[in-house]
Structure 1
Amino acid sequence: MNEQKSEKVHHVFQSIYKKYDFMNSLISFNQHKVWRKKAMRAMAIAPGKKALDVCCGTGDWTISLAQAVGPKGHVEGLDFSENMLSVARHKIEEQQLSNVTLTHGDAMRLPYADNTFDYVSIGFGLRNVPDYLTVLKEIFRVLKPGGTLTCLETSHPKIPVYTQLYFLYFRYVMPALGKIFNGSYDEYVWLHESTRNFPDKKALTELFSQAGFSPIHVISLTGGVAAIHHATKPPLLK
């Protein structure tokens, strides 16, 4: 089952990469940019540090991290879609950023040593991995003690009527927009399914806890359609 999901997700993102950014802005009403800015504020990044952007996709969050850590810091961006990385690489070259390394790799098996990074981000990527807890444990492993993980993801609103409208939008409208603007109906049906099946804020917080993170802070966004989970790898006891 995990292998089937991995192959499916790889196919989806290899297919939709050309208009991924445009579609993100369209289907989120440009809110994903606002949400990412809030996530960056939660991270409170210090210059000169090391950061990892897991499931970096087309690189927007990677670039924000690189600008925040500055020329004395370094950012790694990792994704398993070569086509998404090609878009990210083009953006980074345009920005003339020399403090970023992009890696084609698997979030389930991060190719980094233990205790490497001060910050890790993952934006709209956790719902697409075969096993959420495995990825969270891998991120925990590569974070330095006292380092933080910031996860921006879709969630499950709890407001009556609004909730029903939200899922109707994801089930019917989003795939239709995908077909009209990107010729990708089935791929956007998959994105609806991955959102529907993803844990809500409470269940995801529990997974963070199982992975070892503490404390874990949750910021609900736009009536609960998305959420930021900001979590710390406990520092070593002196």
Structure 2
Amino acid sequence: MTTPTTTDTVPQTKEKSKKIKSAYKSLGKGSFYDGMITCSTFLGSVVNKVVWDYSKEENNLITEKALSGIEEDFNGKLLDVPVGTGVLTVPLYSILNDADITCVDYSEEMLNQAKEKAEKLKLTNVKFQQGDVGHLEFEDNSFDIVLSMNGFHAFPDKEAAYSETFRVLKPGGKFCGCFYIKGQCSRTDKFIDTLYVKKGYFTPPFETLESFTERMKKMYSNVEISNIKSLVSFICTK
């Protein structure tokens, strides 16, 4: 199975980045995104069923699997990229009191939503900064865990994102998260191609279950991958 690649020039990648930033600017300002991503509102449940063919239980399960790579007594350094609005991860950080957590997102609006959630929970061990996953401003081997929830289907330069998340992860560290893969549900694929890509929410090329598994096995020493329809979760050890 061939791993998806991109041959974009620097200007093309920058143009994609601008489109993504604009798309997520509106999502970061409202509550619709949180309701959709957690399947916790009526409209969010409708979107999950129509687009993803997901029940709330299935939606929660894929999140739980992705986050299961983080132990409850984790006290190391964690990078969350992209943190989004923080709806999936910031509540978890309230029990990781001894961890050193850095949250990065390209969208300032999304990042502000995550900051507000952290402030309401009075979290003091979580830092936020705007940044690009393709150009992470951290030293090699900086983090014990790199977490990426629903990011890789949106990143404009996926090769750079894979390279950078690997670079900043310590040997023996865990790379975990979840994202969209194509080829598992034709209805979902059609919505992605005709709506999500055009709106700038998602950016091709997209992994398949086979291509992603192949990629992770080449990069990481231990790989745990599972999917529920069009979302894949992973816990990979460097």
TM over 0.5: yes
Can you list the C-alpha shifts for 1:108-134, whole angstroms capped at 9, x where unaligned? 111111111111110111121122121
Shift of 1:88: 0.5
CA–CA separation in structure 2 for the residues paired with 1:15 and 1:130: 19
Residues 15-62 of structure 1: per-residue CA shift (max 9 Å, x gap)? 221232123331225444332112122444543121110111101343
Would you say the 8 A contact 2:69–2:174 is kept in 1?
no
Q: Which residue of 2 aligns with 1:10?
A: 21
> Corresponding residue for 1:28?
48
Residue 229 (str. 1) matches residue 234 (str. 2): yes
Q: Where in structure 1 are there 5+ consecutive unaligned residues?
A: 176-185, 234-238
1:47-102 deviations in whole A, cap 9, x for unaligned?
Answer: 3121110111101343145235x222111100011100111011111111111001
Q: Per-residue deviation at 1:220?
A: 1.3
Give the Cα–Cα distance (whole angstroms) in 1 for the partners of residues 72 and 146 of structure 2.
11
1:187 CA displacement: 7.8
CA–CA separation in structure 2 for the residues paired with 1:65 and 1:110: 23
* 1:61/1:112 CA distance change after superposition, 3 Å: farther
CA contact (8 A) 1:217 1:231 kept: yes
DSSP-derived class of the 1:108 partner: helix
Alpha-carbon distance, 1:165 to partner: 2.9
Residues 1:52 and 2:60 are matched in the alignment: no
Cα distance 1:169–1:136, how it changes in 2: closer, same or farther (>3 A)?
Answer: closer
Higher helix proportion:
1
Could you tell me the percent identity over the aligned residues? 26
Label 1:200 to 1:22 Cα distance change in 2 as closer, same or farther (>3 A).
same
Distance 1:93 1:77 in 2: 14
Given candidates 211, 214, 221, the residue that maps to 1:214 is 221
Report the TM-score when normalising by structure 2: 0.79
Helix, strand or coil for the counterpart of 1:127? coil
Q: How many residues align?
A: 211
RMSD of aligned alpha carbons: 2.3
The one-letter code sitting in structure 2 at the alignment partner of 1:89 is K
Q: Distance in 1 between matches of 2:164 and 2:213?
A: 16
TM, length-normalised to structure 1 = 0.79
AA aligned to 1:10 is K
Q: Does 1:88 align with 2:114?
A: yes
Question: Residues of 2 paired with 1:171 and 1:139: CA distance?
Answer: 26
Alpha-carbon distance between aligned partners in 2 of 1:73 and 1:43, rounded to the nearest angstrom: 11
Higher RCO (CA 8 Å, separation ≥ 6 residues): 2
Match among 187, 190, 201 for residue 200 of structure 2:
190
Q: Structure 2 regions of 5+ residues with no counterpart?
A: 1-11, 50-55
